[in-house]
């Protein structure tokens, strides 16, 4: 028993896809050597290698073989503590606006307000089964930190979170939530103070404490077995969505749209559809303010790793990166902290290279517009990360080839809710005078929501 089971629905799937379903080993060899095509691997300091071996062993036993009923307990806790399954909701006004059926996979309704809990709960529980005594994690938007702090409190484990200084400042509500759940929050001042620096710092902590500490990595990034394991925990999204589509629509969707930072929401939303060749899969990346880069300054004003990055080695894996011609990693940018990362999961890099997943970009302005559209038209305040997926829906639906790109039925994952982003949104909206936005000047003139 490997994955969260797929229902036997008799829908058309390719023969090779069928094989992939029966054997986990068919999944891009990820179990044999930790790679997805050319990507993946274990590029870490020697001190961490035994911890990765130990983790791989635990992953195989508890996650893949359900030893000691681990997966049963995980599913039970996902349901009772996490609030799963989440609904697949038809978005009526967006459907009308875009002239096709738009369905929302409501991960914003998971406990904590984002898909991040699926993985955090899985890993903290696994750490417990492994006999670890301490949890550390990094966070960008603070959603993963919040989810980890919640899972650690729920399972009675001490927890420390590393977060870049810039992100501490732009995601304050989540910093409060982590503290309130009893986690220590350690701001990281290095570099531009975002996710990349926080990951490096957490790896440093881990290399001193591996004997009793588990590092709950927040996305499908890092060395093997993290990318495969986090995917498995997050694939509950597409497992449910696929079943819900068959039940509620009576067919598979024509396309699935998901925002991509590190890629855990993306892979989670795609995994059970990858074998369904009729379903188009779009990974929506942060186009930031521009797709151009400033090599001399070492800055990419976007986080569009799949769309514009090149192959390299960062944070334990070979994958696509934003890097200069020398191989130095560039600072990335996005208005949404959770997408602001110079790397991406190796499996996603592979799925893009093999043509199964199409990467697209949405810039800061379009994401903010989409944020307001979803909020005012559907009564759902999405995370700024999520808003990128809706930005692409809007853009693609306006194109001549919209029917080809999106099809008649579209699933968009609402990866998280936007409460954490309100200060940023008010500030950024005021700067830009966005059309889709309601009048927020009263808040802005009072200095945001402070």
Partner 1 sequence: MSDRIDAAFAGGPAFVPYLAAGDPTYEASLEYVEALDRGGADVIELGLPFSEPIAEGPTIQEAVVRALEGGMTPERFFAFVEDLEVEAPLVCMTYYNLIYQFGEEQGPRPFVERAAEAGLEGFVVPNLPAEEADPLRDACDEFGLDLIFIVAPTTRGERLERMRERVSGYVYVQARLGTTGAREDVSDHTNASLERLADWDVPKAVGFGIKTGDHAERIVASGADGVIVGSALVDIVAEGHENDEPTAETAARLEAKARELAEGAARGANPENVPQPEQP
Q: Which two tokens stand for residue 353?
A: 């290279």
Compute the distance between CA of residue 16 and CA of residue 306 in angstroms, rounded to an integer: 25
Asked whether the beta carbons of 136 and 148 are under 8 A apart, the reply is no
Candidates 415, 425, 426, 443; binder of ligand PLP (CB under 6 A) is 415
What stretches of 181-313 show up as alpha helix (H) in DSSP? 195-209, 226-234, 236-248, 264-270, 305-308
- CA angle (214, 216, 217) in 5-degree steps: 130
What is the DSSP pairing of strand 316-321 with strand 310-314?
antiparallel
Compute the distance between CA of residue 288 and CA of residue 303 in angstroms, rounded to an integer: 7
Residues that contact ligand PLP, how many (by CB under 6 A): 22
Q: Does 158 bind partner 1 (CB under 8 A)?
A: no
- Binding characters for ligand PLP, 383-402, by CB under 6 A (x = yes): x-xx----------------
Q: Shortest gap between Cβ of 91 and ligand PLP (angstroms)? A: 17
Helices then strands, each counted (H, E), the chain: 20, 14
The active-site residue, picked from 56, 107, 138, 347, is 138
Q: Shortest gap between Cβ of 66 and partner 1 (angstroms)? A: 27
Q: Shortest gap between Cβ of 337 and partner 1 (angstroms)? A: 19
> How crowded is the C-beta side of 156, counted as CA atoms within 13 Å?
2
Touching ligand PLP, residues 241-300 (CB under 6 A): 259-266
Touching partner 1, residues 326-385 (CB under 8 A): 326-329
Q: Which SS3 state, helix, strand or coil, does residue 433 take? A: coil
Compute the distance between CA of residue 286 and CA of residue 360 in angstroms, rounded to an integer: 9
- Binding characters for ligand PLP, 103-142, by CB under 6 A (x = yes): -----------x-x-----------------------xx-
Q: What is the DSSP letter of 416?
A: B
Residues that contact partner 1, how many (by CB under 8 A): 36
Active site residue 415: yes
Compute the distance between CA of residue 276 and CA of residue 300 in angstroms, rounded to an integer: 34
CA distances (Å), origin 65, targets 230, 231, 238, 431: 16, 16, 21, 52
Candidates 144, 192, 224, 320; binder of ligand PLP (CB under 6 A) is 144
The active-site residue, picked from 235, 238, 334, 415, is 415
Touching partner 1, residues 207-246 (CB under 8 A): 207-211
Compute the distance between CA of residue 174 and CA of residue 421 in angstroms, rounded to an integer: 10
Q: Does 298 bind partner 1 (CB under 8 A)?
A: yes
Q: Does 44 bind partner 1 (CB under 8 A)?
A: yes
Q: Does 83 bind partner 1 (CB under 8 A)?
A: no
Q: Does 359 bind ligand PLP (CB under 6 A)?
A: no
Q: Shortest gap between Cβ of 181 and ligand PLP (angstroms)? A: 16
Asked whether the beta carbons of 265 and 234 are under 8 A apart, the reply is yes
Task: Choose between 114 and 275: whose C-beta lies nearer to ligand PLP.
Answer: 114
Q: Shortest gap between Cβ of 311 and ligand PLP (angstroms)? A: 19
**Residues lying near ligand PLP in the complex (CB under 6 A):** 114, 116, 140-141, 143-144, 219, 259-266, 338-339, 383, 385-386, 415-416
Q: What are the catalytic residues? A: 116, 138, 415
**Residues lying near partner 1 in the complex (CB under 8 A):** 41-47, 49-51, 53, 190-191, 196, 200, 203-204, 207-211, 298, 311-316, 321, 323, 325-329
């Amino acid at each position: 028993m490997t994955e969260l089971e797929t229902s036997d629905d008799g829908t058309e799937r390719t023969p090779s896809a069928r094989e992939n379903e029966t054997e986990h080993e068919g999944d891009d060899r990820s179990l044999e050597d930790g790679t997805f095509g050319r990507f993946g691997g274990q590029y870490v300091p020697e001190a961490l290698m035994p911890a990765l071996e130990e983790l791989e062993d635990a992953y195989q036993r508890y996650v893949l073989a359900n030893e000691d009923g681990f997966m049963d307990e995980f599913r039970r806790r996902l349901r009772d503590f996490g609030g799963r399954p989440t609904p697949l909701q038809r978005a009526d006004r967006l459907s009308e606006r875009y002239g096709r059926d738009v369905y929302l996979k409501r991960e914003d309704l998971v406990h904590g307000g984002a898909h991040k809990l699926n993985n955090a709960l899985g890993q903290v529980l696994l750490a417990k089964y492994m006999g670890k005594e301490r949890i550390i994690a990094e966070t960008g938007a603070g959603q993963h930190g919040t989810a980890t702090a919640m899972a650690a409190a729920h399972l009675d484990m001490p927890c420390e979170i590393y977060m870049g200084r810039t992100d501490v400042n732009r995601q304050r509500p989540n910093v409060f939530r982590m503290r309130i759940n009893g986690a220590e929050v350690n701001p990281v001042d290095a570099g531009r103070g975002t996710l990349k620096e926080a990951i490096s710092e957490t790896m440093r902590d881990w290399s001193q404490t591996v004997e009793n500490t588990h590092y709950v990595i927040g996305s499908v990034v890092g060395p093997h077995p993290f990318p495969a394991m986090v995917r498995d925990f997050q694939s509950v999204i597409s497992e449910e969505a696929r079943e819900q589509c068959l039940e509620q629509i009576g067919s598979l969707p024509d396309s699935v749209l998901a925002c991509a930072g590190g890629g855990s929401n993306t892979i989670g939303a795609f995994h059970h559809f990858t074998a369904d060749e009729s379903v188009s899969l779009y990974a929506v990346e942060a186009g930031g303010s521009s797709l151009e880069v400033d090599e001399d300054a070492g800055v990419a004003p976007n986080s569009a790793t799949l769309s514009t990055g090149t192959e390299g080695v960062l944070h334990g894996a070979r994958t696509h990166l934003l890097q200069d011609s020398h191989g130095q990693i560039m600072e990335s940018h996005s208005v949404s902290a959770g997408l602001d990362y110079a790397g991406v999961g190796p499996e996603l890099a592979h799925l893009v290279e093999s043509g199964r997943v199409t990467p697209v970009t949405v810039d800061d302005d379009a994401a903010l517009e989409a944020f307001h559209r979803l909020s005012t038209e559907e009564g759902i305040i999405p995370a700024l990360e999520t808003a990128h997926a809706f930005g692409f829906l809007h853009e693609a639906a306006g194109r001549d080839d919209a029917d080809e790109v999106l099809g008649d039925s579209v699933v968009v994952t609402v990866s998280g809710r936007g409460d954490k982003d309100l200060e940023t949104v008010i500030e950024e909206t005021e700067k830009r005078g966005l059309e889709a936005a309601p009048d927020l000047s009263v808040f802005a003139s009072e200095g945001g929501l402070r």
